[in-house]
Every structure is written in structure tokens, then in C-alpha cells.
Amino acid sequence: MVVFFRVLGAFEVISEDGQDLTPSAPKLRRVLALLILNHNKVVQTSSLVDELWGERPPHSSLTTLQTYVYQLRKILPYGNGSASELLLTKPFAYQAAVSPEQIDVHQFHKLVAEGGAALDAGDALRASEMLNAALALWRGPALAGIQLGRLLESHANQLEESRLQALELRMRADLMLGRHQELISELKSLTQLHPMYEEFQAKLMLALYRSGRRIEALDVFRELRQFLVDEQGLEPSTSLQQLHQAVLNADKELDYVPVSRRPAVEAAPVAVTVPAQLPADLADFTGREGVLAELKCRLSHADADNPVVRLITVTGMAGVGKTACVVRAAHQVRSLYPDGQFFVDLRGRGPEPADPADVVSNILTAVGVPAAEQPAGLEERAKLFRTWCSERKVLLVLDDAASDAQILPLLPGGPGCAVLITSRSRLHGPAGARRIELDAMSTAEGVHLLSAIMGADRTAADPEAAADTVRRCDHLPLALRIVGSRLNAMPYRSLRRLADDLADERRRLANLQFGDVGVRDTFEAILRTLRPGERAALHRVAAAGNRAMNVEEASRLLGTDVRATESVLDRLVEERLMRAEQSGIGAIRYRLPDLVRIVVREGLDRHQEREGVGRSRAGEDTAEGALSLIRVG
């Protein structure tokens, strides 16, 4: 079901068949409005909490916010006509996955841009039609009926400013068409409502003058000047004073010249906003100094002897903080790429990775190529994108890549461009890419991150508990952020208590869940992408406990030959579900990270409950499955 969102007036949600789906609860409307106005962008939970409760949020604010999102999902189950959720959960954030065409604000800006382009090209009639259509979308003040917090009020003010600018453009077009007499009444009303908006005052003076009412035009200036001097201690702007002098002198330049008698002018190109799509940087980002220094160096210095696109791939296990690291590096160098910074979520971990053809189409739309003018196929779209950026300086961030085939068509061709790629798996291409492996945090970095999230006083009060917490979170930023957010929501809970809870492996995953974000879900999503033989082998290794083993030991455990065992273990290492450690000359030992092992064993326990068998029997069944599947694979 496709839904449409109306922001230019009372906030409304309307289904494609005309059904009103607008939430009745005031706070639900506020949450949804903020997400829609930031559509397809990540909105931090802290921003939503600030919008709803300001500087004094209740202790239960995060839990309450999760309840609001849950209720919104019941009202708005689907977006864009597909089975994907409209409201997506991101780490400590939410995102509204909505096509811009579903929002009246997008339609308004598109029509204003077309009207402005027509006006610059001298087509006043088309400009007036486009701008009137844009203004007709307004049904009242933006976000009417919603109690505005700080963020929504800022959006509402920006939208009102855009409306006034569109009005001013339409007035200019109508004056070019000789409609000065029809405009006088409207302009008088606007000057009363916006007495310090000088563009309306100037157009009222011009409309009166062209209507043979020069004395009234001079009165407009006199009254405005008196108002500005009395209220602000200011004189009118230079341009308004010059217009006043021209009216006094009955300057012929002010007379109306029919459009047909005006000299032809060349159409001006449509102004396109430079894409700046990078997500917000994390205020509490911690560590990674060495990786950030290398990224900044490689992104900042082009090789004059080898002028090619700079490609960097950052890989690492799920939850290690690849996206946060790359986004911070991108922000540090964004000024070096003035022609655009793009961010694309390729959804490599999901069941439906992003289609490269759709990705290129979205990029072309962002740089001003209308969808109707784009080629149909991926290859031709990619050629058009490479042509566009051949002489430009562009930074492209491709997050969560699934494969080389997904990213290769998206690469720009100009030597002034750079591409940052994140992926859980080691990508074999593109050729010439610098590969950086992001490891888990050190204990010191993890404690620093906890301090940044929940306050240094709480970690300083029990540094041993803080270090224990980092170790039991496998030094993963994702797990540490969940812990920090849980403790923020429970200021009465001690860090030592949580560290002790994490020590119990049976309860660890429950304590590494906060709202919709959890370690369990993150790793289970990866497990679902494995082939049956790989998944079965992982079950057997996890059931064997927390120990490292060489390939021969693993071969005996799985009951398969060494070559087949090594192949499946390497695949698990590639998926970052297992670590391979050098333990001597040529000797490699394999180990499951603790959190992966716990997630897998919990899955075995659930299997045991469903099938009514013990864990050892379940492990035996798994081993048999691994044996047969690996042998044939």
C-alpha cells in the first residue's frame, strides 16, 4: 500500500485509495512528521527525544519512543508498494523509507525549480503556471495542528521561507505578463502580513506605478521607511531606495514592456543543489585514530603520476563500526569534494540488496537528471554517471556492499573522485583498491566509548567493571553502544551489576538488546545468508565450546576431510563469523568470537526445545548434516 504525506498545511497521511491514515495521537504525529521531513535519512533517537520532550525527557523516554514507532508501524505497515517496512530501525536511530514523490514538499520544490528555470529562460507564462501549481499545494501553515518542538519548528520556518520565495517569483512572472493591476490587492495583503519583506513592498510599488497610481507607490515607500526607522532604526535597502527614486523621476525603465517585445535571452541552466548526502557524524565517536589518519591521507592526496579514482574498501565483522568510521573520515575531507558527497546503503546484509540500476538512477536524479531523461539500462546509466563526474570532484560512500558485481557499475571515472566502500566480506575487486581491515576495539578504546555514551563519572567509579563489560561485549562498538544506551535509560543500575549480568552467557544476548537494536538480530541475519553446509558446520563448532582449533582438529570434529574442512572454515572467516589466528610458522588456529558462539548455541537450544532433543543430540544431527553437505559441496 502506497501512502502520501502532506506537510504543507495540516499534517496528513493519505492512502492511495483516499483513506485517512493520519495518527490521532499528537506525539505520534510529531515523530512521523520529523521522520518524513528527513525521509531516507537516519534520524537519531536523541533528536526524536529532543523534539518530543526538549531538555527534560523522562527516564522512560527511549522506551516510550520505541512504543510510538511500534504504533506507527501498525498504522503504516508498508512503503513504496513493496514488502519493506516504511519505518526502518537503524543503530540508535530510525529512518523513513519513502519515495520523495510521496511527499507534497518534494512536489512543491520540484515545481518551484521548474518555474524558476522558466523565468530565467524568459518564459513568464510557463513560470507563472508552475509557480501557481506549487503554491496551490499549500493548504495552510506548514505542519498545522502539530505542537512544534525545536526541530519541527525549524523545518516549518524553512518551509514558510520557501513559500514566500515562491510567491515572490510568481509575482515577478505576473509582472512580466502585465498583470500589475490584478496583483495590487494580493500585494497589499502580503505587505501587511510581512511588513519587513522588502521584495513584496517593491513589487507593490511597481504594480501601483504601472497602474497609474504613482502617489500611492510613493506612499508605500514612505510608510515602510517610517516603520523601519521607528522599529529598527534602519533605512530601507539600497535597491528599494533606487526604486523610490525611479518612481519619483517617472523613469521609463519602470514601464511595462510586453513579453513579445523583449529581447530574447538564453535559457539559464537549472540550479541544482550540490548533493551532500553524508549521514550525521557521531558526536561520541571514539578511537580508530590510525585508520582515520590513513583514510584522510589517501582521500586528501591524489597521485599526480597515477591520476585514477581513489578506491578504499573497509571490511570487518558485523558491529565493528565500519560505517561510523567511514562516515567520520568522509566528513573530515568533504571540503575536498565540492561537486558532491553521496551516501548509498547497498543493503548487502539484507535479503534484497540494492539494485545497481536503481542506485545509479537515484544518483543521476540527485545531480539534476530527471528520471524521464535517464537511459533505461544499467550500462547506459552508468556511462552517463561517469560522464557527469569525469571533470568533477566527487566523494561516493558505498555502505554495506554485497559483492563486486554490485559496486563495479557504480564507480565514477574521473581522477578527482574517490570511493569509500564498506563490506563485511573481503571483496576481490575493484582493482587498485586499498583494503583496510577494521578490528574490534581495544579495551581502553571500549571504556572510552562507554564513558562518552553514559558519562565518564560512571566508568571512573568502577573501572574494573567497565573493562569487564568491554571484554564481555567482545570489544564490539555495536554491543558497547547498546550497553551504554541501556545504562543511560536506567541511571539507577550500576555498571558492575550489568557486567555481572553479561558474565552469564545464558543472559548475555538479552542484555545486549535495546529497543529494536540487538546483537542477536545482527548475527542471525548473517547466519541466514550461509549455505546449509556452512551453517551446519558452524553449529558443530559452536557446540564444541569456547576453544581454538587447527584444521585437523576441526576435520575430526566435523568428520570431513581436511581440504573440505579448510574450505568451509575459510568461508566462515570470510563472512567474519570466525577468526583465523597465526599460532606459529604456517600454523593457523580457528576460533569463534564469543558473541557469535553464543548466538549459534542459543539457536541450538531453540532447536532442542522445538524437537524435544538434548543439545548433544542436536549437535550430532548438525554434524551429520555438515558431513553430507560439505562432501557434496
Q: What confidence tier does 585 reach under pLDDT thresholds 50, 70, 90?
A: low
Q: Is the pLDDT of residue 630 over 80?
A: no
Residues 143/7, Cβ–Cβ less than 8 Å? yes
Q: Is the pLDDT of residue 321 over 50?
A: yes
Residues 123/109, Cβ–Cβ less than 8 Å? no
Q: What confidence tier does 263 reach under pLDDT thresholds 50, 70, 90?
A: very low
Residues 159/104, Cβ–Cβ less than 8 Å? no
The type of residue at 350 is: G
Helix (H) or strand (E) segment spanning residue 219 = helix 214-232
Q: Is the pLDDT of residue 612 over 70?
A: no
% of the chain at pLDDT higher than 90: 30
Q: What confidence tier does 275 reach under pLDDT thresholds 50, 70, 90?
A: confident
pLDDT at 327: 93
- What mean pLDDT, rounded, does the chain reach? 85
Residues 393/274, Cβ–Cβ less than 8 Å? no
Q: Is the pLDDT of residue 79 over 50?
A: no
pLDDT at 261: 44
Instruction: Give the cell for residue 207.
Output: 504594480
Residues 14 and 139: their CA atoms lie apart, in Å, by: 15
Torsion sign across C-alpha atoms 356, 358, 364, 366: negative
Q: Closest Cα to residue 396, out of 307, 347, 308, 326?
A: 326
Helix (H) or strand (E) segment spanning residue 522 = helix 519-527
Helix (H) or strand (E) segment spanning residue 127 = helix 124-136
The type of residue at 527 is: L
Instruction: Give the cell for residue 136.
Output: 496551490
pLDDT at 584: 67
Q: What confidence tier does 304 reach under pLDDT thresholds 50, 70, 90?
A: low
Q: Rounded to the nearest 5°, which phi and psi values hold at 404?
A: -65, -40
Domains of the chain, earliest start first = 1-174 (1.10.10.10), 178-262 (1.25.40.10), 289-314+323-436 (3.40.50.300), 443-521 (1.10.8), 530-632 (1.10.10.10)
The torsion of the CA quartet 41, 47, 51, 52, rounded to 10 degrees, works out to: 110
Tens digits of residue pLDDT in 509-536: 999 988 778 898 888 888 888 888 888 8
Helix (H) or strand (E) segment spanning residue 95 = strand 93-96
- Strongest mean pLDDT among 28-32, 122-126, 576-580: 28-32
User: Is cis: bond before 430, omega within 30 of 0?
Assistant: yes
State the average pLDDT over residues 331-342: 90
Q: Closest Cα to residue 507, out of 605, 615, 616?
A: 605
pLDDT at 586: 63
The type of residue at 52 is: L
Torsion sign across C-alpha atoms 120, 367, 16, 42: negative
Q: Name the more confident of 180 and 582.
A: 180
State the average pLDDT over residues 440-460: 90
CB atoms within 10 A of CB 613: 14
Q: Closest Cα to residue 364, out of 379, 386, 346, 331?
A: 386
Helix (H) or strand (E) segment spanning residue 420 = strand 418-423
Residues 424 and 402: their CA atoms lie apart, in Å, by: 8
Over the Cα atoms of the chain, what is R_g? 30
Sequence-distant contacts of 149-158: CB under 8 A, at least 24 apart: 149/30, 149/50, 149/51, 149/52, 149/54, 150/50, 150/51, 150/54, 151/34, 151/47, 151/50, 151/51, 152/30, 152/33, 152/34, 152/37, 152/51, 155/34, 155/37
Residues 11 and 619: their CA atoms lie apart, in Å, by: 55
pLDDT at 431: 73
Characterize the bridge pairing of strands 434-437 and 310-315.
parallel
Tens digits of residue pLDDT in 9-64: 999 999 887 888 899 999 999 999 999 999 888 898 888 998 999 888 888 888 89
Q: Which residue has the cell 498504522?
A: 75
pTM: 0.61
* Among 81-95, 113-127, 492-506, 619-633, the least confident range: 619-633
Residues 316 and 319: their CA atoms lie apart, in Å, by: 8
Provide the phi-psi class of 557: left if phi over 0, else alpha when psi is between -120 and 50, else beta.
alpha
Q: Is the pLDDT of residue 613 over 70?
A: no
pLDDT at 273: 65
pLDDT at 633: 43
pLDDT at 306: 58
The torsion of the CA quartet 544, 549, 554, 557, rounded to 10 degrees, works out to: -30
Q: What confidence tier does 281 reach under pLDDT thresholds 50, 70, 90?
A: confident
Tens digits of residue pLDDT in 401-448: 988 888 898 998 888 899 999 998 877 666 778 889 999 999 999 999
Q: Closest Cα to residue 598, out of 498, 470, 509?
A: 509
Counts of helices then strands in the chain (DSSP H, E)? 27, 14
Q: What confidence tier does 303 reach under pLDDT thresholds 50, 70, 90?
A: low
Q: What confidence tier does 88 reach under pLDDT thresholds 50, 70, 90?
A: confident
State the average pLDDT over residues 594-616: 75
Q: What confidence tier does 268 reach under pLDDT thresholds 50, 70, 90?
A: very low
- The 3 state secondary structure assigned to 578-621 is CEEEEEECCEEEEECCHHHHHHHHHHHHHHHHHHCCCHHHHHHH
